Structure 1
Amino acid sequence: MSFSLYYLCAVVRKQRTGISSFARNTTFRGRIKMDKILIQIGEFGWYQKFVYFLICWSTLFSGLYEMMSVVLLNTPEHRCKVPGLENDTYDIHSTYQQNLVNNYIPPSVDESQNYDRCHLYAFDYNDVKFDNSGRPINATLVKCDKWVYSDSVMKESLSTKLDIVCDDTYLIPLVKSLYIVGKFIGAFVFGNLSDAIGRKTTLCVALMAMFGLTFGMSWSSSYIVFAVIITAIGVTTQGVFPIGFVLGVELVGPSKRKYTGLVAEYFFSIGLVILAGVSFLVRDWFIINIICSAHAALFIFYWWLIPESPRWLISKKRYQDAYTVLQKIARSNKVTIDHKILEEEMTTEASEPVGRVWQLFSKSMLARTLIILFNWCIVSMIYYGLSLNAGNLGGDFYLNMSLSGLVEIPANAMVLLLVDRVGRKKIYCICMIFGGCACAATILPIVYNETENEVIITTLAMIGKFGTSAAYGTMYLYSVELFPTVVRNAGLGASICAGRIGGIVAPYIADSAALISGLVGKIFPLGMFGLLSIIAGLSSLYLPETLNKTLPETMEDSKLLGKSAYMSLGDNDSKEDKNHFYYNKGYRSEKGNTNL
């Protein structure tokens, strides 16, 4: 996943008030003082680096299982088992076996497949004639219930173990969608839990639950058991990556947050690459899952190694516990800290504005809201769809999976470098259209000669993944800056829901080649992703730019956003407000700017 929502929310929370009202809000004063404390005791000392590395390791664990279903449910080349032939294998080992295969297995109507995958000939051997190729004349086609599989990609996958092929093919995209449904549920469960019981406790509970589920998944005895477990794993991932991400960001000073956010994304992408590497070396779903999950047993030590977020402790008025954590950070950085430093935090925090979901669909916000929700749905659908489709591309299965993970690293770096220079709108629009055109361009090489053009198709698909990954990261930041303060939380929640809906639909498009026969099935996934990406990119042109603009507070502010009358940064620096405020490029103080 690209630029994390949870890092950006941590930044945007400091932007929710306007410049004038900011100085009067004690909630944000407390947050600024917390940043000033971290600047004083060390923004990213060795202890913070150590804790952050541990958090990144858990992020890598989450990345390992983001695309695990692509490996576990890999469906290799297969055909019906020849009746009466014991120890039949997909590969031909004798002339006798070849003759029986010719007698019983029909040729495929798809030129890319050697055999019909789901049918065999039924006939009476005592009353049948064969043509010159050994095929029976006037035989009846019947569906089979036993299959043999090629082991060129996987020695055994869960699909081959449970025979999830032919009429049951639809079960594969279904279980991939259930994983996204689990993430949808987990966002609500662990998001609220982390605010109630703390980041550390929530992270440790989620890690242990995810370890138990992933390790136990190796003994799935049926499709239903596997589907339930993979859904539950989806739930727990929302307590691992997002909550760990927030904890890591809250432990570092303001000038380091953007970079810690990016590094965590790198570990997530590295997890995708490691999964491809382990799968290539092992090629057995059971052992792959054991290897990828067993190391997570060490996460039990996180309870003693990782501290609670001092920001959360302060929000719960547990000042002594917060002081203990800050003292440990200061001691590791060879800085002394005064116990009185938190006294000013012990004030009653003012409540923040509360909006209602229906306000998103008022006359002034309707068009903008629908475009934002549409773009969230599409960019999420394409990101997950292209990741899942990597296993369906021609060429080497493992190389495609590795490239799909690796391409996210430069995409994240590009967003980091350009989003505050070029602007959110331009970056998002260009990346969506660029990635969409690359995906749509795969139609021509597929139509003309898919086998000979595998390199071209894969290259175009990875360019599409690059553009989508960059757009995904940009959309997180862009959308939260478009909603006014009074409905920002509601808007963000609605956007996440739209994104999850897109993610749920993605597997059905990515795996449509198995559901739609012929050439149409081959060009449909990337062609559809490309078309939707271009449409979404063009629709974003309606949205205003937010770079160097103060965040809108009210509906009236939102109406003016993008117009010449709207306030840019620096236009309203009154004397009483010049000391401290946040804006959408960093933290400004009397000493200058510190980028977040």
Structure 2
Amino acid sequence: MADPQPLLSQSDNQQENHSNDHQQQQHEVKSLDDMIEQTIGGFGWAQLVQAILVSLASIFDSQQAFLSVYTDAQPTWHCTNNNTTTTTCDSRRSNICKLPKSDWAWDGFASKTIVSEWGLQCSSSAFIRGLPSSSHFMGCILGTFFVARLADSSLGRKNMLLLSCLVMSITTSITILSNNVWIYSLMRFIAGVGRASIGTCTIVLLVEKVGRKWRNLVGIMDFFFFTAGTVSLPAIAYMNRDSSWRAIYLWTSVPALVYSAILYFLVSESPRWLLMQGRQEEAMKTLKSLSTLNNDIKLQKSVVYLHRRETSKVEDDIFSSIKDLFQRRWARHRILALCILGFGIGLTYYGMTLGIGNLGFDIYLSVVFNGLLEIPSFFIMYLLIERWNRRSSLLITCVLSGIFSIAIILADEELEKIKIGLELASFLGACTAYNVILIYAIELFPTCVRNFATSMARQSITFGAVLSSILVSAGGDDNNKLLPYVVFGVVIMCCGFFVVCLPETRDVPLFDTMEEQEEHEDNNSVVV
């Protein structure tokens, strides 16, 4: 007769093994970041394709940021031969606003830019000349408060990026119908509202789809595409130099519309966000498409366990996490310090490009030089964040950028090559700081508020762009052309020192809830 004991022992062993597997699963997978490391910690072809498709949005983002360099510029002019007055006309020295209209004419046609088409060259207020550009950046700022939170709650990263691209591209195409500066400024404002979340959704979506080891790589990829947009804009403007400013808007809006269709059909949502929203099946599907592993059972167990663990901490109110963010002292301090730091960086970064015409150089080559200079900034950024901590990297780049910017006004008036060299050096520092602070902002806050917090930091950078547009316009007079560079230098240096108020995040995992963030920092005695 067979001994029944082995059967009983086998049953007990199966239950014990099942219990041990469950305990081991809980031990191995403690957070979403652990699961990301275990399932998509590598970087395969699927992740590369997704990273490229998402990063393409940065091309159109950068083009819209610097369009005004060409569409809102004052064209060159020449003296006419029918000078019947006693006024002496000299296109190199004369003030166009003090000459009779019969004594001069625009080079080319009157609709080359909005300044020549609508007669803004003699506008008494720098505010009017800088209104379109400032309106666009102000739209970016206000758009953050209205739509950025939706990327953390109901819409998600992908849908928010899609909506932003559609609004921006459609409004940009409608801008060509503007017949005065007020309607034009309104269209630029609406395009800014649409564009508000593109940069943030792009970098957050990229980082949340890869493991900790690859964050810096996808961040650099995003910045590279942003640079590609900056460099491509002068090429588009140069090809349309004999056309109306409307042609530039057409050439930048249509490709963005096409990209929106590609984004809708080919880009997947962030698995972190899907799981935090309780959308388990979609999260599983996305993780399988990105994962280099074939163990579906292990992946399914991880998803189920984390779904139960994480969604129990998420409230349904889409504004609850924002309230929670500002109710916590450490979070308020981080947001404030990050925004002040971002403002200084944005003022210099955008001011250097928007004000390039004040140095008297060719606006096509100057923007190309600034754009190409962003490429070495990627390698500098990579070395800084790999070998140094975030705080030291930001402080050093901000201080150096400020020193070079102030030095521009100290250079001899006739040494134009020295001035452009100092401008490029200052821009390199600001550009590197710009790249580092976006990575830093992502690491400072958990998934539940990451997109909103990063948007706040990014829009503080944009607020700097608003003021830089006005400063550049005010510096259009011959006596004040270099004064904005002093302001840029002083502000970025002063704001750079606020980085000492922030904690270090190098090699720290990405957390998903406020409680996880606090628990980790309490255990590691992080000063906030």
Q: Same fold by TM-score, threshold 0.5 exceeded?
A: yes
**Partner of residue 282, structure 2:** 321
Task: Give the drift of 1:56.
Answer: 1.8
The amino acid that maps onto 2:233 is: L
For the Cα contact (< 8 Å) 2:204–2:442, is it kept in 1? no
In structure 2, relative to structure 1, the CA distance for the partners of 1:318 and 1:24 (3 Å cut) is: closer
Deviations 1:429-463 (A, max 9, x none): 22122111211111133x532xxx22221111011
1:382-401 residue pairs with structure 2 within 5 A?
382-401=348-367
Structure 1 residues 210-248: Cα deviation after superposition (integer angstroms, max 9, x where no partner) = 221122222222212211111111122234332233223
Structure 2 CA distance for partners of 1:276 and 1:178, relative to 1, 3 Å: same
In the TM superposition, what is the alpha-carbon distance from 1:493 to its structure 2 partner? Answer: 7.2
Conserved in 2, the CA contact under 8 Å of 1:512 and 1:524? no
Match status 1:101 vs 2:83? yes
Please report how far the alpha carbon of residue 190 of structure 1 lies from its aligned counterpart in structure 2 after TM superposition.
3.3
Give secondary structure in 1 for the equivalent of 2:196.
helix
| Structure 1 residue 421 corresponds to structure 2 residue 423 | no
Against the structure 1 CA distance between its residues 209 and 475, is the aligned structure 2 distance closer, same or farther, given a 3 Å change threshold?
closer
Asked whether the 8 Å contact 1:390–1:404 carries over to 2, the reply is: no
Read off the aligned partner of 1:522 and give its amino acid letter: K
**Does the alignment pair 1:306 with 2:271?**
no
Give the root-mean-square deviation of aligned CA atoms: 4.0
Shift of residue 369, structure 1, vs aligned partner: 7.9
Corresponding residue to 1:278 among 236, 242, 245: 236
Q: 1:546 aligns with which of 504, 516, 528?
A: 504
Q: Which amino acid in the other structure matches residue 130 of structure 2?
A: P
Q: Partners of 1:394 and 1:29 in 2: how far apart? A: 55
* Corresponding position: 1:463 with 2:425: yes
User: 1:360 Cα deviation (Å)?
Assistant: 5.1
Query: Aligned match of 1:116 in 87, 95, 120?
Result: 95
Question: Equivalent residue for 2:120?
Answer: 164
Counterpart for residue 413 of structure 2: 448
Q: CA separation of 1:216/1:166 partners in 2, compared to 1, >3 Å: closer, same or farther?
A: same
Number of aligned residues = 482
> Which residue of 2 is the match for residue 268 of structure 1?
226
Gap change, CA 1:25 and 1:478, over 3 Å in 2:
farther
Runs (4+) of structure 1 exceeding 4 A deviation are 23-28, 104-108, 144-147, 352-356, 358-362, 368-373, 476-498, 540-545, 547-554, 565-569
The residue type equivalent to 2:485 in the other structure is L
Aligned to 1:210: 168
Q: Is the 8 A contact 1:52 1:248 kept in 2?
A: yes
TM-aligned CA deviation for residue 498 of structure 1: 4.4
Match of 2:136 among 153, 159, 179: 179
1:365-380 mapped onto 2 (5 Å cutoff): 373-380=339-346
Aligned amino acid, residue 308 of structure 2: T
Which amino acid is the alignment partner of residue 183 of structure 2?
V
CA contact (8 A) 1:355 1:489 kept: no
Report the alpha carbon displacement of residue 535 of structure 1 after superposing the two structures with TM. 3.2
SS for the counterpart of 1:307 is coil
Q: Give the superposition deviation at 1:208.
A: 2.2
Map of 2:148 onto structure 1: 191
Unaligned runs of 5+ in 2: 1-24, 315-320
Q: What is the CA-CA distance between 1:196 and the residue it aligns to?
A: 0.6
Name the CA shift for 1:189/1:483 in 2 (closer, same or farther; >3 Å).
closer
Could you tell me how far 1:107 is from its partner in structure 2? 5.1
AA at the equivalent of 1:196: S
Range with greater deviation from structure 2 (541-550 or 304-313): 541-550
Q: Which one has a larger percent helix, Structure 1 or Structure 2?
A: 2
Deviation of residue 305 (structure 1)? 1.7
1:202·1:239 contact (CA, 8 Å) conserved in 2?
yes
2-structure distance, mates of 1:487, 1:314: 14
Query: CA–CA distance in 1 between the matches of 2:377 and 2:161?
Result: 27
Classify 1:544/1:217 alpha carbon distance in 2 versus 1 (closer, same or farther; 3 Å). closer
In structure 1, C-alpha distance between the alignment counterparts of 2:445 and 2:304, rounded to whole Å: 34
**Any conservation in 1 of the 2:402–2:492 contact (CA below 8 Å)?**
yes
Question: Percentage identity across aligned positions?
Answer: 22
Alignment-derived partner of residue 254 in structure 1? 212
1:81-100 per-residue CA deviation (whole Å, 9 max, x = no partner) reads xxxxxxxxx354xxxx1xx3
Sort the Cα spacing of 1:425 and 1:58 in 2 relative to 1 into closer, same or farther, 3 A.
closer
Structure 2 distance, partners of 1:406, 1:234, is 25
Shift of the 388–46 alpha-carbon distance from structure 1 to 2, 3 Å rule, reads: same
- CA–CA distance in structure 2, aligned partners of residues 245 and 542 of structure 1: 24
Residues 280 and 398, structure 1, Cα contact 8 Å, conserved in 2: yes
- Structure 2 match to 1:85: none
Q: Does 1:231 align with 2:196?
A: no
In 2, the alpha carbon distance for the partners of 1:316 and 1:489 equals 14
Equivalent pair of 2:398/2:433 in contact (CA under 8 Å) = yes
The C-alpha deviation readout for 1:314-361, integer Å capped at 9, x for no partner, is 22222222223333345xx58453373422233043538975647659
| Counterpart mapping for 1:429-440 below 5 A | 429-440=395-406
- Does the 8 Å CA contact 1:63/1:271 hold for their aligned counterparts? yes
